[in-house]
Structure 1
Amino acid sequence: MTHVLVVDDDPGITRFFQRFFSQRGVAVSSAHTVEEFNLQLEQEFHLALVDIRFGAVDGVQLINQLAQTHPHCAVVAITGYASVKTAVQAMKAGARDFIEKPFTDLDQLQRQLDVYLRGSGSSRDEDDPWPELCPILRKIGMICAANSPLLPILRIAMRIADSDIPILILGETGVGKEQVARFVHEASSRQNNPFLAINCAAISDTLLESELFGHEKGSFTGATETRQGLLELADRGTLLLDEVADMPVRLQTVLLRVLEQKEFLRVGGRSPIRSDARILSATNRPVDQLAVEGTFREDLLYRLDGVRVEIPPLRHRKDDILLMMKDFLKRQDVPEDHVSPDFERYLIAYAWPGNVRELYQALRHAIALAGKGPITPEHLPARIRHAVEGHPQDPDGFTWDQDLDQLTKRILQDWLQKQDCTLEELEQTLKQLNRQVLFRVVEHLWTKYQKDKNKVCEILGINERKFRYILYELRPDRRDSH
C-alpha cells in the first residue's frame, strides 16, 4: 500500500492530508515534532510532505535528512510564506517539488502529487527519472544522462519558469548557461514569444546601450533610422543578459531603473517605453565578490538574484560527455563504432576547462583528422592528450620551471659581464622583461582558450582593462593581429 509521511507542526494541515489521502486509498503517517519525525524514519515511505517552517527547526534540514536516509522517497516541500526562493533551497536540499498553502485548488494539488504516487508507489522511474523535462530537452537539443547532476537543476528551473522571479545563472565558460536560459523560456508561458540574448562583454559600452534600449534617428553619428532595442523586441518574451557582470557601471544604473519601473528610454528618446520582457542573467565571474569590490552594483545584484542556479562543469557530468559525443557523431553522420574505447576513456579523463564548447571543438578536430577511419586518442588536440597522459608541459614545449630558470641565469650572466652596469640599469632590464613575460603569458592563454577573454581574465585574476593593457598596449605592433 502506498504510504505518505506528512511533517508539519500544524495539526490542521496533517488532518487535512489525512482526509485528502484516505479518500484515495493512501496510508498516511504524520509528525508534529522533531522527535516524532525521527521515530517515523524507521518506516518506508513513497512520498513525504515536509513544511519548510517546522516550528523552530529549519524544514530544509529535515528534507536533506530524508534525502539521505530515504533516497527512493519523493520529498515535496510545503510552504505558506510565498517564498519561491526558500522553496528552491528546499529543492536543492533534495525536495522534488513544492506546494503552497493555502490549498485552494484541490484538483491542481491532486495532479501535482499524483506524479509521485503513480505506478506501484515508486517515486521515480530509474530509466527515465525526469519525464516531464524530456519534451523541452528534445526541443532545445540539450543532452543529459539519466543521473546527470544537471537534471535536478533543470527541475528547479522548470518549477519556477512561470513565476517571473529573476534567475541568475552561474557557471564556467562554455558550460551551457544560455541553453539553460532557453530551457527556462521554453518551460514558461512565454515560450511562443521571442527569446533573445546578448553578451554584455562582447561589444563596446555605447553599442551595448543601443542594442539593449534602441535608439532614435539622429541620436548619434550613423543613426540614420529609429531602431528598436532588445528590451522592446523581447516584450512578453525572455531576454538573457549573458556575462552581465561585465556590464559597465553606468549601464548597470540604467538597467536597475528598468527592472524597477518596467520602462526605459531609447538612446536619444524622450518617451518612456514599457516592456514585459522577463530578464534572465548569466555570468562566469564571482559576482558577489565584484559587488563587494564595487565593480558591480549590489542593489542590481539583489534584483537579478531572485533565484541562483549554478550549472555544474562538464568534468562533474561524466555520463553526459559520452551521450554528447554520440549525439554529435550522429549529427555528423559518423558511425558510433568508429570510436575506439581509448578515445572514450580520454574524453572521460580530461577535465574540460572549456566545458561543452571545448568538447565539441575537440570532437570536430578528431573527426576531421580521422577521416573515414577509426577515431583514436591520437586525433584529439595535443593539449588534451598531454593533460590526460600527465605531461606538465604545454603542447608547444614550454616548461615554466626550466625555461624561466635558464632565462634568469642568462640575465644574471649578462649583467655580471658588464663592468659598468648599474643596479638601475638592471631594474630597467627587468621591467622590460616583465612587460614581455606578461604579454607572452596572456598571448599564450589567449590562443589556448580560443580568444575567450573572460576565461583568460578569470585564470589570471585580472579585469578587462588590465587584459587590454597587457595584450594591446605592451605590444602595440601586434594590436591588429588580435
Structure 2
Amino acid sequence: MKQKILIIDDDTSLRRVLEFNLQEAGYQTAAAASGEEGLRLFGEVEPALVISDMKMPGMDGMQVLKSIKEGAPDTPVIMITAFGSVDMAVEAMKAGAYDYITKPFNRDELRLTVAKALQFSSLSQENRHLKSQLTDRADFSAIIGSSPAMEKVFQVVAKVADTEASVLITGESGTGKELVARSIHSRSSRASGPFVAINCAAIPHDLLESELFGHVKGAFTGAVRDKSGRFALADGGTLFLDEVGELPPALQPKLLRALQERMIEPVGGTKPVKLDVRVVAATNLDMEKAMSDGTFREDLYYRLAVIPLHLPPLRQRRDDIALLLRHFCGRHGAEKVQFDTAALAALLAYPWPGNVRELENLVERLLIMRNGDTITVADLPEKILNHERPATAGSVVNLPPDGYSLEELEREVVVQALERNSWNQTAAARFLRIPRHTLLYRMEKYAITPP
C-alpha cells in the first residue's frame, strides 16, 4: 500500500509541485491550504508523513507541528521555510520536527528528505515492536507442562513454527490457545513482524468484515476515512483468528479467498491488496459438527487446518497441575506458598471445566485470602471439595455435572491403567480385563505413547 503524505501550504502552485513530485515518486498525497484544514485532514487520512510550510495566515506551521506532536508524536513532520528563516526551522526541530527544507528546493532534495523521514519512522516503529516482542515473550513461559500430552504439543509447535502452513488450534476454553499461537509466531521467521489477534466472536457480525479487511472512506455510514483491517496490520507477521468457528457464514468465502490468493479487498474498495500474512486460528467448537450442520465451510476448514493442533484439557494432564501451581504462585510473588497433601489431592481430583484459566484464577484468589504460607483443604472453595462426593453409592466414575466425552473418558482410563502398571502393556490389559491387542488398538486410536 502506498504511503500517505499530507501537504499543508497556502501557496497553491507550491502545493501542486509538491503533490506532482511526491506522486511521481510513488506516494499517495493529500493537500490542505491552511493549518486548520490540514489538522482536519490529518485526522481523516492518518498520513505517514506531514510536510508543512512555516508561515501561513491563521494557524502557522509551528502551531500545526505542536498540534500533530500532541496527538500523534510518532508521525514525522518536515517544515518548509524561506532561506532567511532558518532560525525558525531550527526552533521547529527542537519542538519535534524531523527536518526542514528551504525554498527554493529541487526535486531530489525533497525526495531524499522524505525518504529519510519515512525510514526513520519505520525504524522507530520496528524498535518499539521489538521491545514489545521481548515483553510478549515473557508470556511464552506460561505454557507450562511436562506431561506426555503437552510434550506432543511442544513437538508439533517446534516442527510447524518456521513454516508458512496455516495452523488450527482446537481445545476447550482456558487451555491456552493464544499462548500457543504466540509461541508459534515467536519461533518462526516472522518473529520480527507483528502478531495481531482478533476474537471473531467478540465483534458484531456487521463490523467484522471491516475489522478483518479494512474499509475505504465512504464505504458505509460513519466511514469518514480509510481504515486498515487486521490483515493489513499483520502484513509481514502472523494473524491470530481466535474463535474462528464463530465466523458468520457470509464472511467465510471472503476469508477463504484471502487465504487462497493472499489478497484482500477492503470494504467499499475496488482494487485487491496483496499481503504477506500467516494465519493461525483457534476454536473451542466441534468443527466436524459445525461442518455437518452447514454452519462452517469444509473448504475453509481444510484451508485453516493444514496443521491441526489439539490442546488437551487440564483433566487429561493432571501431572501438570503441581507445576502450574508453582508457576502461578511465582507469578504473583508468592514462591514460598505451598499446598499441603490433602489440598493438592483435592485439586488433582477436580475436573477443571475452566481448565488452566480456572486454575490460575483460583490460585490468585487463594493467595489473596490465605492466612499463611500453606494452603490447606480448609482454604479451598466448596465446589472443589463437593465434586469428590460420588453421585451414587459404589460408583466407579464421578462424572462432572456439565457432561463428559466418552472418548476422553476411555482414553483417560487407558492412560491411568498404563501408568498404574508402569506402562507394561500386558499388565495393563490384564488390569482392564481386555485382550492385549484390544489395548494396543486403543493406544493407537488415541495416540497414547509411553513417556
What's the TM-score once normalised by structure 1's chain length?
0.51
Deviation (angstroms), 1:339? 2.7
Pair 1:142 & 2:128 matched: no
Deviation (angstroms), 1:265? 1.3
Counterpart in the other structure of 1:206: 206
Unmatched 5+ stretches in structure 1: 1-135, 393-443, 446-482
Counterpart in the other structure of 2:357: 357
Counterpart in the other structure of 2:441: none
Counterpart in the other structure of 1:250: 250
Distance 1:271 1:245 in 2: 28
Deviation (angstroms), 1:372? 4.3
Q: Deviations over 1:193-241 (max 9, x none)?
A: 1111111112211222121111222322222322111100101111111
Q: Deviations over 1:241-267 (max 9, x none)?
A: 111111000110110111111111112
Tell me how large the CA RMSD over aligned residues is: 2.3
Contact 1:143 1:320 survives alignment (8 Å): no
User: Which one-letter code corresponds to 1:171 in the other structure?
Assistant: G
Distance 1:139 1:173 in 2: 18
Question: Residues 337 and 363 (structure 1 numbering): CA distance in 2 closer, same or farther, change over 3 Å?
Answer: closer
Distance 1:259 1:332 in 2: 41
Question: Residues 382 and 317 (structure 1 numbering): CA distance in 2 closer, same or farther, change over 3 Å?
Answer: same
Deviation (angstroms), 1:177? 1.0
Contact 2:137 2:186 survives alignment (8 Å): no
Contact 1:166 1:306 survives alignment (8 Å): yes
Counterpart in the other structure of 1:329: 329
Contact 2:143 2:180 survives alignment (8 Å): no
Distance 1:180 1:332 in 2: 22
Deviation (angstroms), 1:297? 0.7
Distance 1:259 1:361 in 2: 37
Distance 1:366 1:247 in 2: 37
Question: Residues 300 and 275 (structure 1 numbering): CA distance in 2 closer, same or farther, change over 3 Å?
Answer: same
Counterpart in the other structure of 1:183: 183
User: Which one-letter code corresponds to 1:327 in the other structure?
Assistant: H
Distance 2:371 2:214 in 1: 47
Aligned counterparts, 1:321-470, within 5 A: 321-372=321-372, 374-390=374-390
Counterpart in the other structure of 1:131: none
Counterpart in the other structure of 2:292: 292
SS of residue in 2 equivalent to 1:280 = strand
Deviation (angstroms), 1:145? 3.6
Contact 2:337 2:375 survives alignment (8 Å): no
Deviation (angstroms), 1:163? 2.0
Deviation (angstroms), 1:173? 1.1
Contact 2:143 2:179 survives alignment (8 Å): no
Pair 1:170 & 2:180 matched: no
Distance 1:324 1:341 in 2: 16
Counterpart in the other structure of 1:301: 301
Counterpart in the other structure of 1:311: 311
Contact 1:326 1:336 survives alignment (8 Å): no
User: Which one-letter code corresponds to 1:209 in the other structure?
Assistant: E
Contact 1:236 1:276 survives alignment (8 Å): yes
Contact 2:332 2:364 survives alignment (8 Å): no
Question: Residues 195 and 316 (structure 1 numbering): CA distance in 2 closer, same or farther, change over 3 Å?
Answer: same
Distance 1:145 1:137 in 2: 17
Contact 1:168 1:304 survives alignment (8 Å): yes
Distance 1:338 1:286 in 2: 38
Distance 2:160 2:143 in 1: 21
Counterpart in the other structure of 1:215: 215
Counterpart in the other structure of 2:228: 228
Query: Which structure has the higher relative contact order (CA within 8 Å, separation 6+)?
Result: 2
The alignment of Structure 1 onto Structure 2 pairs a total of residues equal to: 259
Distance 2:211 2:279 in 1: 15
Query: What is the identity percentage for the equivalent residue pairs of Structure 1 and Structure 2?
Result: 41
SS of residue in 2 equivalent to 1:290 = helix
Unmatched 5+ stretches in structure 2: 1-135, 393-400, 403-451
Distance 2:297 2:168 in 1: 15
User: Which one-letter code corresponds to 1:257 in the other structure?
Assistant: R
Distance 2:181 2:295 in 1: 24
SS of residue in 2 equivalent to 1:215 = coil
Distance 1:311 1:290 in 2: 19
Deviation (angstroms), 1:312? 0.9
SS of residue in 2 equivalent to 1:202 = coil
Contact 2:337 2:373 survives alignment (8 Å): no
Q: Report the structure number with the largest CA radius of gyration.
A: 2
Aligned counterparts, 1:268-283, within 5 A: 268-283=268-283
Distance 1:148 1:330 in 2: 24
User: Which one-letter code corresponds to 1:284 in the other structure?
Assistant: N
Deviation (angstroms), 1:157? 1.9
SS of residue in 2 equivalent to 1:141 = helix
Counterpart in the other structure of 2:96: none
User: Which one-letter code corresponds to 2:219 in the other structure?
Assistant: S
Contact 1:168 1:307 survives alignment (8 Å): yes
Distance 1:178 1:202 in 2: 15
User: Which one-letter code corresponds to 2:351 in the other structure?
Assistant: A
Question: Residues 143 and 181 (structure 1 numbering): CA distance in 2 closer, same or farther, change over 3 Å?
Answer: closer
Question: Residues 248 and 375 (structure 1 numbering): CA distance in 2 closer, same or farther, change over 3 Å?
Answer: same
Distance 1:192 1:298 in 2: 33
SS of residue in 2 equivalent to 1:241 = strand
Distance 2:200 2:370 in 1: 38
Distance 2:341 2:165 in 1: 45
Counterpart in the other structure of 1:264: 264
Distance 1:319 1:143 in 2: 14
Counterpart in the other structure of 1:84: none
Question: Residues 382 and 391 (structure 1 numbering): CA distance in 2 closer, same or farther, change over 3 Å?
Answer: farther
Distance 1:282 1:208 in 2: 17
User: Which one-letter code corresponds to 1:331 in the other structure?
Assistant: R
Contact 1:365 1:381 survives alignment (8 Å): no
Contact 2:185 2:191 survives alignment (8 Å): yes
Distance 1:147 1:202 in 2: 32
Deviation (angstroms), 1:373? 5.5
Contact 1:346 1:377 survives alignment (8 Å): yes
Distance 2:233 2:248 in 1: 22
Distance 1:225 1:380 in 2: 53
What's the TM-score once normalised by structure 2's chain length?
0.54
SS of residue in 2 equivalent to 1:270 = coil
